[in-house]
Structure 1
Amino acid sequence: MDARPKTRQVNRERKSPPPQPPRGAKQIVIPMTRPQYDDLWHQTDRLRAFLAGWAEAAPELFPAGFDQGDRLHGLGRESRKLPGVKLRKIVLADGTSYWLRPSFVTGYMTGTVDELAYPLLLAAHGVPPWLLTIGFGHSDMYWYRIIERLGRNSLVGTTVRDAARLPAHLAADEHHADWAGQKGYVATTVGGGCVLGVALTASADDVHLQEAYGVFAAEARDVEPEYAPETVNTDGWAATRNAFRAWFPKIAVVLCFLHGFLKIRDRCRKAHELHRRIWDVYRAATAEEFRRLMDEFQRWSEAQTWTASVSEMLTKLWNKTESYVVAYDHPGCHRTSNAVDRPMNRLCRLMYAGRGLHGHRGTSELRLRGWALLLNFRPYARRSNRPRAHDSPAHRLNDKRYHEHWLHNLMASTSLMGFRNRVPAIR
């Protein structure tokens, strides 16, 4: 008889964030290559002119009050991991101090963009740490922690560089994950084609999901304190709807039409005429047309012979007509959950490749957040010979980038760890 497998006991409850700001929140990341660093970093006047140019072009990279005056205040110690690389200290007019970091250096001085761009691109596509170790050296935990440290940045603040670009229409769902031998739920929020919220929770009830989606709400309101999305697309799970209504009382919840269709399709996969008629209803251009087509579809369905399970799902579909009609009051909203399903499927494959999540809640969630940032900033695949208008989901959302290289762009976006208002500077 096989022995019963042992499961690791992990902390499954969310802890309050520490009162002090994270260490990286005092680092200003400047888009800069290694040749520019060698040329400018020790030349005070030229470096100040370089900073002034970026402060005008991309003020979101700099803390509030940067335009009131500053002074360079010497160099830090030389990095033991990266010989020849030193951070520079800068002090603002109010006395708060920050460290300047060039974007070719990754967070925590763990490597350079040139060294890590290809391994991290592979990691974003599911290559496990042990294979990265074989191909690029270091150790398995080195690669594991690089992704985990990425997750310490604000997911919303790093991805959305302009508060005006915060999406008005969201989509949200929970993935059922294997978490240290027990069931966990990954509450995922997507908007503008990017993953903006990933939180791990032990249960899918009202209390736990409100807490999980509250991480997204807090980060979004750090970027824009008055942020109030117009709609969110969800499945029929009441706790998800209640969580968003608790954080955004005026939000309109749009019921996912795809979920209603899938429940029918899974019970009669060969009924192609039925499937076609359902999607004909979905394609209605107006609310009135949707109601009319749904009535016609109901009369046609009642004249057919279906199994009891199919009839039950059909009845649920047309009984939810008014819930589906809500979408017509909000042009541009997500009428199906495809917007969240596609990026969430990538996270699912990454978790499957690692056979689930194995760490405590904090470390497991950081790894998920690090993956999400890689998915937001990794370059699109090439398509024939036609040039793409945008390089990545984050580039498309912001319609701007700080550097042509995707990892330079990600590193620059992590300036101040993506925080704008909530995290104070270090004195």
Structure 2
Amino acid sequence: MVVSIRGDKSICLPVSSEEQYRQLIADNPNFRAYLLQVYTKYPEIFPTGMDEGFSFHDWVVSSKQELSMRRIKLKTNQEVYQLRPDFIMPYMVGKTEEIDKPMYLRQFGVPFEALAYVFGRNPMYWYRIYLSLGRASIVGTTIKDRQKLPQHLVADEKHTWLKGKRVYLPTTAAEGCILGVAFSESASAEALTKGYKEFQTEARLLDPNYTPVTVNTDAWDGTKQAWLKLFPTVTLVLCFLHAVLKVQKGSPSYRNLRKKLKSKLWKAYKAANAAEFLKGLRFALIWSKKHIRRKRTLSKMRQLCRRASQFTVAYQFPQAHRTSNMVDRLMNHQDRLLYTMQYFHGDKESARLYLRSMALVWNFHPYGARMRSNSPEQRSPFTDFNGFSYHHNWLHNLLIASSMNGRQTPQSG
């Protein structure tokens, strides 16, 4: 059972303008027709039971924004939901068009003090808005169809600091999106299991039977134990990139030999089948024994070859990730933003919300001009993942996708 939290009962509606919205809520028949039209097109942003009927319940008035909103009651379970237009931020903190550009700049780590200097208000105002985005489910907000839940994942832990103490950020990625990020004070199997469980919980709200087919990880035992505990049938694929980097680190003074060895390893990686891959590894090992005298490098090469079976398992799953490149790039983004703020200085919960907000802003941020030069519409990781967007503006798109905090009702069948 999932405990309802603030925001789960708030439905965010796509409307073309504030003027259209005010006309709609003044006319119950037209507003009802509009709601049914939106429900037919985007049922995932509404609670289950909308198709069995609803009644207008009462009004909610925001004196802060001088805006009236309706609440509806579902006939099937008598649950009451508030209807909020997408031009207003959650908790009525401001108009979306006023928040759009400041939150866009957060993607580049622009400090809250700088946002206050340019856009007014005060740093804490922008900080609270940013953290509030992290209350929504990352999986439920990013993935709008359970059929699109990824079968092949990449996972790793980002190292960072809280009040000068090293902490870990278990991060799950697929299709260029961050689908899970948590805060862990330890890299033990137990702590990482708790961290990665946030992804599992949110994914199974979308599909109670969800289990990924493969997950690519590095060789850290705690990571592997965590994923096997959460998803006992998942196939672990060892990251080949991490293994090559460890071999490289073992021979810093042998630049030319290191380059040749790396070339042979990546040639083996590109093999068309497992047999050719193993053959390439054996050749690289024989070559290293003949040309490299550094014991540490040879030890890392032997270790890589002993783990060959953990690399070749990927050939059974053509769509599996063989390296952790995807999550590494996303963690580089995390690292840049965390560096600009000199890491975490507050409590664990604010750090957790900060990370989740960072993930959602990344998933919905608009690509640059070069990426969308061949597309008339604004593209983002979300639109690439789902194949559509709710709105041409990235923040409107995020707000609508996070309707009911992104906590879609589990679907059966």
Deviation at 1:178?
0.8
Deviation at 1:58?
0.9
Do residues 54 (structure 1) and 23 (structure 2) align? no
Do residues 417 (structure 1) and 405 (structure 2) align? yes
Give 1:280's match in structure 2, choosing from 267, 289, 301: 267
Q: Which structure 1 segments of 5+ residues have no match?
A: 1-16, 423-427
Q: Which residue of 1 aligns with 2:392?
A: 404
Deviation at 1:38?
2.9
SS in 2 for 1:87: strand
Contact 1:79 1:109 in 2 (8 A): no
What is the letter of the counterpart of residue 341 of structure 1? D
Do residues 294 (structure 1) and 281 (structure 2) align? yes
Q: Which residue of 2 aligns with 1:238?
A: 221
- Distance in structure 1 (CA, Å) of the matches to 2:372 and 2:28: 44
SS in 2 for 1:173: strand
Contact 1:28 1:416 in 2 (8 A): yes
Q: Which residue of 2 aligns with 1:308?
A: 295
Between stretches 40-49 and 121-130, larger displacement belongs to: 40-49
- Distance in structure 2 (CA, Å) of the matches to 1:398 and 1:384: 17
Q: Which residue of 2 aligns with 1:103?
A: 86
Deviation at 1:331?
1.3
Deviation at 1:390?
6.6
Deviation at 1:332?
0.8
Q: Which residue of 2 aligns with 1:138?
A: 121
Deviations 1:354-383 (A, max 9, x none): 111122111110111011100000001111
Between stretches 34-43 and 403-412, larger displacement belongs to: 34-43
SS in 2 for 1:332: coil
What is the letter of the counterpart of residue 397 of structure 2? N
Do residues 147 (structure 1) and 135 (structure 2) align? no
Do residues 353 (structure 1) and 340 (structure 2) align? yes
Give 2:26's match in structure 1, choosing from 34, 39, 42: 42
Identity of aligned residues (%): 38
- Distance in structure 1 (CA, Å) of the matches to 2:176 and 2:371: 22
Between stretches 134-143 and 300-309, larger displacement belongs to: 300-309
Do residues 226 (structure 1) and 209 (structure 2) align? yes
- TM-score with structure 1 length normalisation? 0.91
Q: Which structure 2 segments of 5+ residues have no match?
A: none
- Distance in structure 2 (CA, Å) of the matches to 1:349 and 1:191: 20
SS in 1 for 2:62: coil
What is the letter of the counterpart of residue 53 of structure 2? G
Question: Alignment length, in residue pairs?
Answer: 403
Contact 1:170 1:233 in 2 (8 A): yes
Q: Which residue of 1 aligns with 2:361?
A: 374
- Distance in structure 2 (CA, Å) of the matches to 1:50 and 1:109: 23
- Distance in structure 2 (CA, Å) of the matches to 1:192 and 1:36: 36
Deviations 1:146-202 (A, max 9, x none): 111111111110111111111101111111111122111111111121101111011
1:187-198 matches, cutoff 5 A: 187-198=170-181
Deviation at 1:36?
2.4
SS in 2 for 1:201: coil
Give 2:72's match in structure 1, choosing from 90, 96, 100: 90
Contact 2:372 2:379 in 1 (8 A): no
Q: Which residue of 2 aligns with 1:334?
A: 321
Deviations 1:91-118 (A, max 9, x none): 1103111000111111111112211111
- Distance in structure 2 (CA, Å) of the matches to 1:109 and 1:343: 31
Q: Quick one: structure 1 residues 186 and 78, their matched pair in 2 at CA, closer, same or farther if it must change by over 3 Å? A: same
Q: Which residue of 2 aligns with 1:391?
A: 379
Q: Which residue of 2 aligns with 1:30?
A: 13
SS in 2 for 1:295: helix
Q: Which residue of 2 aligns with 1:362?
A: 349
Contact 2:73 2:80 in 1 (8 A): yes
Task: Please list every run of at least 4 consecutive aligned residues from structure 1 whose deviation after the TM superposition is greater than 6 angstroms.
Answer: none
Q: Quick one: structure 1 residues 108 and 385, their matched pair in 2 at CA, closer, same or farther if it must change by over 3 Å? A: closer
- Distance in structure 2 (CA, Å) of the matches to 1:35 and 1:293: 66
Give 1:253's match in structure 2, choosing from 226, 236, 241: 236
Give 2:308's match in structure 1, choosing from 321, 324, 346: 321
- TM-score with structure 2 length normalisation? 0.94
